[in-house]
Structure 1
Amino acid sequence: MRKSTDWMTIWDDRIMEIIQDGGPTSASELDKEDYIRTSRPNISRRLNKLADHGLLHRLPNGVYSLTDKGERYLNGELDAEELNEETESSDEGAHVGT
């Protein structure tokens, strides 16, 4: 079973599942999917949010691919709450000495 977290939406799992099945893709391609019923701007926001938390990798031209963490999350091997902790820790380290 997948363990999501409070910043995630239902669209996040669907977006990652499509990328897992079909390979790297963009917001415009995902917008054509019958499986996703939200706006293209929302898809773009979700792609960025997933990339910010390490579940997707940003490629050139607005294309995204699934990371190892994304694969582990989809397989139920990664609790998304752990991503929050990693992101917060990284943010705190970036401000040390500034």
Structure 2
Amino acid sequence: MTLWDDRILEIIREEDSGTATELADHDYIRVSRSQISRRLKKLAEHGLLRSLGNGVYVITDAGTEYLEGDLDADELPESSEDHSSSTA
């Protein structure tokens, strides 16, 4: 999990959904659209977001629990690239 992951989740929760383009235009996010897109996919892999298609994501119950402090990131399922890639 990165600082940007928390911000991405917070914005999507507040706005009910989000895309990489919308998030890149947000004043609260200071990374590129391509980096946001990678983080959206990673958060979905871990069950914190759900893809609706066409690049639109919504927060899941697990994502809400994470933001509220009821779910530890260490409890999330790991993808095969976790801890071994600079994009994870």
Please report the TM-score for the alignment, with normalisation by the length of structure 2: 0.86
User: What's the CA shift for 1:87?
Assistant: 3.6
Among 19, 44, 56, the alignment partner of 2:49 is 56
Among 55, 62, 65, the alignment partner of 1:72 is 65
Structure 2: distance between partners of 1:30 and 1:79: 24
Moved over 4 A (4+): none
Q: Which has the larger radius of gyration?
A: 1
- More helix per residue: 1 or 2? 1
Match of 1:3 in 2: none
Report Cα offsets for 1:67-88 as digits up to 9, x if no partner. 00000000000011010xx346
Percent identical across equivalent pairs?
59
Query: After superposition, where does 1:1-98 map in structure 2 within 5 Å?
Result: 8-83=1-76, 86-87=77-78
Q: Can you give the 5+ residue segments of structure 2 that lack an aligned partner in the other structure?
A: 81-88
Q: Can you give the 5+ residue segments of structure 1 that lack an aligned partner in the other structure?
A: 1-7, 92-98
Q: Number of paired residues? A: 80
Please report the TM-score for the alignment, with normalisation by the length of structure 1: 0.78
